[in-house]
Amino acid sequence: MAKDKKLVQSENCNGCGICVTVCPTNIKLGKAEDFNVDTAKLAITVSNGAAVIDSNACIACGICSKNCPVGSLAIVPI
């Protein structure tokens, strides 16, 4: 099913990493026996102090945006 919304990020991100830990896509991948943090197609990661979204892996569920302490993430229509 085609996605009609997507996750976007603003400049507010402080790199806390909460979004990375609450993301259900990341959690599912993390349960794999052969999970490798360097190669897994995580939906959201933190790099150089800021969250980085992989729009291919992200299912736009919005859980990360609800948990971001600084309101850096938002779900928007495509």
Answer yes or no whether residue 74 interacts with ligand SF4 by CB under 6 A. no
User: In the range 43-72, which residues lie near ligand SF4 by CB under 6 A?
Assistant: 43-44, 46, 51, 58-64, 68, 70, 72
Answer yes or no whether residue 15 interacts with ligand SF4 by CB under 6 A. yes
Which long-range contacts (C-beta less than 8 Å, at least 24 apart) are formed by 41-49?
A: 44/7, 44/19, 44/20, 45/20, 46/15, 46/16, 46/17, 46/20, 49/13, 49/14, 49/15
Nearer to ligand SF4, 15 or 37 (CB): 15
Which of 4, 7, 8, 37 touches ligand SF4 (CB under 6 A)?
A: 7
